[in-house]
Amino acid sequence: GVLTGKYTRANAGKIQGGRGEWATSALNDKAYTLIDALIDIAREADSTPARIALAWVQQRPAVTSTIIGARTMQQLEDNIAALDLHLSHEQLARLHALSAPQLNFPFDFIKRATGFSSSGAHINGIAAPTNPLSPKSEQDRY
């Protein structure tokens, strides 16, 4: 429900959800930025934020099913319409970037350490930078 476009910056704190604090406690600046993007993409696609949110989830590689929370026939029809919606790579990338979790230590440390531990290797499709201390050429190595 938080990603349906019902809650926006403009009406922040004015709309009470059916789940009360459970839903509204997640509304912070990051959530509103994501909701703004869902609304923008819905306009681009001539759709609704709820459909965009569901289509986004359905297009994630590891997702095999989605759970909908429709309480009315209109909500159910809107949710089902998401099955026919296909988001572009750019739209998906935008939503992925805005929703990426902010992990704390040691995540950033480990991410930066790949240049030393996996210099130049590709692991799970991610390229590690070359170790800045390694020789630049074969002549430097010997």
Tens digits of per-residue pLDDT, 82-132?
A: 999 999 999 999 999 999 988 888 888 877 777 777 888 888 888 888 887
Q: What is the pLDDT of residue 107?
A: 82
- HSE-CB at 98 with a 13 A cutoff on CA atoms is 20
Q: What is the pLDDT of residue 61?
A: 86
* Mean pLDDT within 27-56: 94
Bridge partners of 123, per DSSP, are: 126
Q: For 18, phi and psi rounded to 5 degrees?
A: -65, -20
- Residue 29, pLDDT above cutoff 80: yes
Length of the chain: 142
- HSE-CB at 55 with a 13 A cutoff on CA atoms is 23
Q: What is the pLDDT of residue 22?
A: 63
pTM over 0.75: no
Distance CA 117, CA 129 (A): 10
Q: Nearest to residue 70, comparing CAs of 62, 81, 78?
A: 78
114 vs 11, more confident = 114
Say how many C-beta atoms besides its own lie within 10 A of residue 26's C-beta.
Answer: 12
Q: What is the pLDDT of residue 40?
A: 96
Token pair, residue 92, equals: 């998906």
* Nearest-5° Cα angle at 65, 64 to 69: 160
